């Protein structure tokens, strides 16, 4: 066994035995307006915002925010509904971390769209579970599979019912995994007008981010599960120390963000301290393991429990794949991806494109990395103008 892994097992068993991993995620007491996403980031910029709660089939209480421009009126919303779906270790605040001229949530509201902001289970803005506390093992028994088939499905159902129109989806990173998986399901895709995917991911076989590859190689996901952990909260001292130990002598983490996402050309590093006031949000160890399965196996499939539990759960030895070819050819898709993305590698994006029955509109940016698609200082003109043009081309005068 690698000496480093022996050390790591010892290190984890020591520091995690008394570590607090509950953080403030999914606090059932999140009721005061001052604790809401609307109050923290959206209303202070003059935008109109309302908070909504959605319950999933498996009992999680998710937060949705509805946003309108300062000149708008949520009671008489005129634009087409757009759902913004965030990535891994993020939440709905990710779309509002930059200025009103740069943050996509603000930009879409100013353009007259009916903006809805999704927050998956376990994140700060969502509201827990009807039965479990976030200190319970059962609370964290999910992966992106449930985020796609339960969380995203229920948010779309709610928006579709309130707005009375099909919904545009915008996803980034894990938000695109969720979107592509969900769109293979006939009962979900019927609520969607079109999807725009930033750093689109369905396959992760060619990930190049060095720190991610290091964690996969040392089976970090299996180690933390073996130690009885179920929540990943990178605000805890234990996990901060763990990541530092992974970098020490093994991976160059001088530019930590690049070591986990690839090099970003246009990320505003001067705002990192502000971003860290909100990011990262917790996720589950099971979710990390599902993502690592994708890297190791080169698949876009349901969670792999192993042969015996797969038989009990799915009725077959291997987990069923999400069939990208089953996404309707008639569904308009738009994708933007970058040459420096260490997670959404161009080879994997091409595989996704080959398996789709449709031909999405594409925007390729050679120098863009994974985070640039969300926080580039030039994203407005480089990406968002093109995406908004795609949505405008699909709007029908009779829609509103």
List residues with catalytic annotation.
Answer: 173, 341, 370
User: Which helix (H) or strand (E) segment is 314 a member of?
Assistant: helix 307-314
Answer for the pair 375, 98: CB distance below 8 angstroms, yes or no: yes
Between CA 281 and CA 266 the distance in angstroms is 23
Strand order in the sheet with 48-55: 48-55, 61-68, 114-118, 81-85, 167-172, 192-198, 333-338, 361-365
Answer for the pair 212, 2: CB distance below 8 angstroms, yes or no: no
CA-CA-CA-CA dihedral for 312, 314, 318, 320, to nearest 10: -170
Angle (CA) 196-123-161 rounded to 5° is 55
Answer for the pair 216, 296: CB distance below 8 angstroms, yes or no: yes
Pull the structure tokens for residue 190. Answer: 């019927």
Q: Which residues make Cβ contacts (< 8 Å) with residue 311, sequence separation at least 6?
A: 317
Between CA 116 and CA 147 the distance in angstroms is 17
Q: Which residues are paired to 50 by β-bridges?
A: 66
Is the C-alpha dihedral spanning 124, 300, 345, 214 positive or negative?
Answer: positive
In 3D space, the residue among 310, 63, 75, 348 whose CA is nearest the CA of residue 204 turns out to be 348
Pull the structure tokens for residue 90. Answer: 């993020």
Residue 163: HSE in the Cβ half-sphere, 13 Å Cα cutoff: 29
Q: Which residues are paired to 68 by β-bridges?
A: 48
Angle (CA) 149-368-390 rounded to 5° is 60
- DSSP state letter for 136: S
Between CA 275 and CA 262 the distance in angstroms is 18
């Amino acid at each position: 066994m690698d000496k480093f892994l022996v050390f790591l097992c010892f290190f984890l068993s020591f520091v995690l035995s008394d570590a607090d991993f509950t953080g403030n995620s999914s606090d059932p007491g999140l009721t005061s307006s001052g604790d809401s996403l609307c109050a923290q980031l959206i209303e202070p910029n003059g935008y109109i915002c309302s908070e909504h709660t959605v319950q999933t089939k498996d009992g999680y209480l998710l937060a949705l925010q509805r946003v309108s421009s300062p000149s708008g009126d949520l009671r008489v919303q005129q634009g087409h509904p757009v759902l913004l779906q965030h990535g891994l270790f993020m939440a709905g605040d990710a779309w509002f971390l930059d200025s009103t001229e740069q943050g996509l949530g603000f930009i879409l509201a100013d353009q007259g769209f009916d903006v809805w902001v999704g927050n998956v289970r376990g994140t700060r803005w969502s509201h827990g579970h009807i039965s479990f506390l976030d200190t319970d093992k059962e609370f964290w028994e999910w992966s992106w599979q449930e985020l796609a088939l339960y969380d995203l499905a229920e948010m779309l159902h709610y928006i579709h019912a309130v707005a009375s129109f099909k919904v545009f989806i915008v996803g980034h990173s894990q938000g695109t995994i969720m979107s592509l998986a969900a769109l293979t399901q006939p009962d979900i895709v019927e609520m969607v007008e079109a999807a725009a995917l930033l750093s689109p991911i369905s396959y992760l076989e060619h990930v190049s981010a060095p720190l991610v590859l290091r964690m996969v190689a040392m089976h970090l996901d299996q180690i933390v599960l073996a130690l009885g952990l179920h929540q990943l909260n990178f605000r805890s001292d234990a996990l901060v120390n763990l990541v530092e130990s992974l970098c020490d002598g093994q991976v160059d983490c001088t530019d930590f963000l690049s070591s986990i996402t690839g090099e970003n050309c246009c990320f505003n590093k001067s705002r990192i301290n502000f971003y860290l006031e909100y990011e990262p949000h917790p996720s589950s160890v099971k979710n990390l393991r599902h993502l690592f399965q994708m890297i190791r196996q080169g698949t876009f499939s349901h969670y792999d429990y192993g042969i015996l539990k797969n038989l009990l759960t799915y009725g077959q030895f291997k987990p069923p794949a999400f069939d990208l070819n089953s996404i309707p050819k008639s569904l308009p898709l738009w994708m933007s991806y970058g040459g420096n993305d260490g997670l959404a590698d161009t080879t994997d994006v091409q595989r996704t494109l080959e398996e789709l029955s449709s031909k999405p509109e594409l925007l390729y940016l050679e120098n863009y990395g994974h985070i640039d698609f969300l926080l580039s200082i030039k994203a407005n003109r480089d990406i968002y103008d093109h995406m908004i043009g795609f949505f405008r081309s699909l709007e029908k005068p009779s829609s509103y």
